[in-house]
Amino acid sequence: MQIINNSTINKSARSVLSLTQAHLLYSLIAEGMNDLLKRSVLQRNDRSLNLNPETELKRYFGARAVLGDQRPRQRNRQFHRTTWMTNPKDSWPRFSRPGISMALLETKDGIHYFTFEHGREYQQVQFKFLDAVESMDPNNIVALLQLNPYHIDSLLQLSDVCRIQEDQEMARDLIERALYSFECAFHPLFSLTSGTSRLDYLRPENRAFYLALYKHMMFLEKRGCPRTALEYCKLILSLDPDSDPLCMLLLIDFLTLRSREYQSLLQLYQDWEEHRNLSQLPNFAFSTALCHFHLSQQDDADPEESSKQRSNADQMLQHALIMFPGVLTPLLDLCTVQADAAVTSHSFFGPKSQLGQPPALAQLTALYVGRTYNLWREAPVMLWLEESVKEVLRRVDAADPLVEECQNKRKQRYQSAPRNIHRHVLLSEIKEATSSLPLEVTTQPVMGFDPLPPLDSVSSYSRPERLHVGASNESTLSLFFRSLLPNFNLQVSGVARAGQELNQEVNRLMVAMRDMLANIRFQEPPREDNPYRDEEEWD
């Protein structure tokens, strides 16, 4: 490694509240700022919004490769309502409104507050679904979905089972069907583009929409459509930017880097840093530095501008390494890079930096490293990282005041994480992060249709009381999802017999679902009023 020239770093730090309580931790990333939303990257016009992955795929591979022989057969397609988020398929069951609607609660300061509502018949189906989850027989959910093919929570729950069983196509199809059902229920004033439509996550009827969007977003990212996934990430964040119930600010930087929208991420950082202290999150501290580095490497960049970007990148990366030294070792491990002996033997980056991290910071660090390590594997990026590490060690040995300042901040903050960060960790399914979850999270039922619901939920209707039969009130499906967590202990759960039958039940569920979806077919008469419509290319 070569030691780069000594560069000064801004030693001023924005003051933030001490994180001695759980809700104060998330105050770093969740404070009211509706005025900034109106000029942020979350506000898009109709042309810039593209939630259809085919548009991105056509940009990469061409329309012919993506569409194949769809055009000649378009007259035999079923007629479906045109929607933004999904392309309805002929193989889907005939759509009839399942009993979900959307109501406008109030309009305040230009912000519209909406909520989904369940009709009486849908409520009865929801009660049957909850009974099916608790019945210890997953086939009851399949039977419910046969009668109600657009019941949202059943689609979400079974999609998780399909995905875990590596049936990605079916899992994705079930989520798209759920999104189609939601979009057909939108209120006329509800907008996907303005950034002024809100949905309260405290209401159970709204939570399924958040989760369907999140799961669809992750399918898109894994499918190689990061730009479309980024649009969904912005959409989820815009629904409740103050509370950010799914912690999209812990993910948006990764999707922006994957999309190579470097200026977009820097603009978000500039607009929100003063109010949300984004620099105190490991993902923003490192990702913004990486943005500046990539901008400095662009071939068409002006030499003076390139030099400026590189200087910013060096300063920001050094500051990130000093503030979050626990990132380096696991990052290099996942990148399969062996650090110099001078680095591994130094106390600043050694094992002590891992063991000394507060619990919440360990979760945030593991999330960032597990999610973005591939972005650091490029040779120029790794060389830049090596140079910065050498410079940081020189500053540590020289007793730079910033080192002690950051150490004090780490001790005062990040002591415990609120429920929404735990929820994000569960949804991320990043092994390094889930292994750091506390026992009070990993020892409770985790259901795919509503993971870690808020403790102060606002319910518009209640489930009728019913007698619970049996020694255990935890279902086989709940056990299945909880068993994926690293510290799951079957004996602690007290349901060893149910655990022994788990694989058999899940396999039986998969067979039943495949049979159901293969046999449900509804044919519509040919329609001439549904012409084939190409999506617009990216701007």
Neighbours of 398 (CB within 10 A): 9
Residue with tokens 């907008």: 191
Name every residue whose Cβ is closer than 8 Å to that of residue 251 and which is 6 or more positions away in sequence: 233, 371, 424, 428
Structure tokens at 301: 């960049």
Q: Token digits for 121?
A: 């018949």
SS3 388: helix
Instruction: Please spell the DSSP secondary structure of 453-486, one letter per residue.
Output: --TT---SS-PPP----SS----HHHHHHHTTST
Task: Output phi, psi for 215, to 5 deg.
Answer: -65, -40
Quote the crossing angle between the two packed helices 120-133 and 139-147, to the nearest 10°: 160
> Residue 181: how many CB atoms within 10 A of its CB?
23
State which H helix or E strand residue 153 sits in: helix 152-164
Taking the C-alpha atoms of residue 46 and residue 295, their distance in angstroms, rounded to an integer, is 28
- Token couple for 402: 């910033």
Transcribe 320-360 into DSSP letters.
HHHH-GGGHHHHHHHTT-PPPHHHHTSTTTSHHHHHTS-HH
How far apart CA 207 and CA 423 sit, in angstroms, is: 12
For residue 361, the SS3 value is helix
CA angle 319, 361, 339 (to 5 degrees): 55
Confirm if 354 and 332 have CB atoms less than 8 A apart.
Answer: no
In terms of Cα–Cα distance, which of 360, 406, 403, 155 is closest to 250? 360
Q: Which of 302, 295, 361 is nearest to 330 (CA)?
A: 361
User: Is the Cβ–Cβ distance between 440 and 465 less than 8 Å?
Assistant: no
Handedness of CA 289, 291, 294, 295 (dihedral sign): negative
Q: Are 14 and 274 in contact (CB under 8 A)?
A: yes
Kind of pairing between the strands at 100-108 and 111-118: antiparallel
Please tell me the distance from the alpha carbon of residue 23 to that of residue 455, in angstroms, as a whole number: 13
Rounded to the nearest 10°, the torsion over CA 100, 106, 110, 111 is -50
* Predicted local confidence at residue 104, as pLDDT: 97
Q: What is the DSSP letter of 78?
A: P
Residue 446 has a pLDDT of: 82
What is the per-residue burial (b if ≥16 Cβ within 10 Å, else e) of 129-155? beebbbbbbbebbbbbbbebbbbbbbb
Which two structure tokens, joined as six digits, stand for 185?
């229920």
3-class secondary structure, 360:
helix
- CB count, 10 Å around CB of 79? 13
Q: Which two tokens stand for residue 45?
A: 């016009």
321 vs 325: CA distance, rounded Å: 5
Cα–Cα distances in Å, from 293 out to 4, 197, 288, 297?
A: 15, 35, 9, 7
Furthest-apart CA atoms within the chain: distance in Å: 79
CA 139 – CA 142 distance, rounded (Å): 5
Helix (H, G, I), strand (E, B) or coil at 245: coil
What pLDDT tens digit does each residue of the chain (539 aa) get? 433 333 333 333 333 333 334 444 444 444 444 444 444 556 654 444 566 666 666 666 565 555 554 544 444 455 556 778 888 888 899 888 889 999 999 999 999 999 999 999 999 999 999 999 888 777 888 899 999 999 999 999 999 888 888 899 999 999 999 999 999 999 999 998 888 999 999 999 999 999 999 999 999 999 889 999 999 999 999 999 999 999 999 999 999 999 999 999 999 999 999 888 899 999 999 999 999 999 999 988 889 999 999 999 999 999 999 999 999 999 999 999 998 888 988 999 988 888 878 889 999 999 999 999 999 999 999 999 999 999 999 999 999 999 999 999 998 888 888 899 999 999 999 998 998 888 888 888 888 889 999 999 998 888 887 655 444 445 555 555 555 444 444 444 444 444 445 455 555 555 555 555 555 444 444 444 444 444 444 43
Give yes or no for a contact between 403 and 322, defined as CB atoms under 8 angstroms apart.
Answer: yes
What is the crossing angle of helices 502-519 and 152-164, to 10°? 120
Strands 197-199 and 111-118: parallel
What is the C-alpha to C-alpha distance for residues 50 and 53, in angstroms, rounded to an integer?
8
With the C-alpha atoms ordered 466, 471, 474, 476, is the resulting torsion angle positive or negative? negative
Overall size of the chain counted in residues = 539
DSSP class of 184: T
In Å, what is the CA distance from 358 to each residue of 278, 411, 426?
18, 7, 19
Report residue 55 CA to chain centroid gap. 22
